[in-house]
Amino acid sequence: MKEYPYITNEKLQLFIRQAFLEDVGDGDHSTLACVPYDSVQEAELKVKDDGIIAGIELAKIIFATFDPSLKIETYKRDGDRVKFGDIAFKVKGSSQSILTCERLVLNCMQRMSGIATYANEMMSLVSGTNTKILDTRKTTPNFRMFEKWAVKIGGAENHRFGLYDMVMLKDNHVDFSGSITKAVEQTKDYLANHHLHLKIEVETRNLDEVKEALDANVDFIMLDNFSLDELREAVKLIDRKVKTEASGGITKESVRAIAVTGVDFISSGAIIHSAKNFDLSLKAIK
């Protein structure tokens, strides 16, 4: 998991424990009532959509955590392009264990595959440019780790994970501080006093703010809701002195034109919050 520093075994196990506590409670009584304890069966993960599959590795961890005796045979890997009718994997072992894990596995994989598919589509739309698609913090509480994992599986990039791993001075920070200059000065003092080495990004709303952010010597400049002409002018003004990020209502229809202006990054909350769940099902093999 070196590519995903925000994913640790401790965090995975905490999520899985809490998810099972939420779903199973004092027992999966539907399964316990009618499926014999010693029943052994096999089920397959059926793909009922077209796109990018994600969450297979997570599914393996969920199954192994709940019942290490379950055997998984995979036919697809995270990031593979799949189509309706494909089989992603088979799981064999305790019928009770398979049934109790089913919904948690599907909920995670359907969400992650939908995000991976959306992220992949956005990256395809900017192919041939030097622009990368970034996610945002517009995520589902307590599920961010998996949503950002899915973004990477889909081929896009992760922005900061939370409020702690990068400084992003947005419009409200600037307005509450008085100006970009004051906000950046105070931030640099704060970081020095607390021995923190974090990149600083500043959101700008017009070209005057872009100039001010440049003079403040930050690491990234966000160009929020700029028109295409304004983006081109801002990119020319910045002249690669710092990294540029376009944001604000990015859609599949607009992303290509924005990338062509020459920005380094385009951040899109939609690749997570507007992704449609992927259609998957876990079916018993008769």
What is the full per-residue pLDDT of the chain (286 aa) written as tens digits? 667 889 999 999 999 999 999 999 999 999 999 999 999 999 999 999 999 999 999 999 999 999 999 999 999 999 999 999 999 999 999 999 999 999 999 999 999 999 999 999 999 999 999 999 999 999 999 999 999 999 999 999 999 999 999 999 999 999 999 999 999 999 999 999 999 999 999 999 999 999 999 999 999 999 999 999 999 999 999 999 999 999 998 999 999 999 999 999 999 999 999 999 999 999 999 8
Q: Does the CA dihedral 37-43-49-52 come out positive or negative?
A: positive
**In this predicted structure, what is the pLDDT of residue 167?**
98
| Residue with the two structure tokens 């922005």 | 159
**In this predicted structure, what is the pLDDT of residue 3?**
77
**Structural element, H or E, at residue 97:** helix 95-125
**In this predicted structure, what is the pLDDT of residue 1?**
63
**In this predicted structure, what is the pLDDT of residue 253?**
94
Residue at 100: amino acid letter? T
- For the residues of 166-212, what is the DSSP string, one character each? SEEE-HHHHHHHSSHHHHHHHHHHHHHHTT----EEEEESSHHHHHH
Q: Which of 2, 29, 6 is nearest to 148 (CA)?
A: 6
- Write out the catalytic residue numbers: 103, 138, 170, 203, 224
Cβ-based burial of 174 (10 A; exposed 0-12, middle 13-18, buried ≥19)? buried
**In this predicted structure, what is the pLDDT of residue 2?**
66
**Structural element, H or E, at residue 151:** helix 144-153
Residue 49 CA neighbour count, 13 Å, CB half:
20
Estimate to the nearest angstrom the gap between the alpha carbon of 215 and the chain centroid: 33
How many residues can be counted in the chain? 286
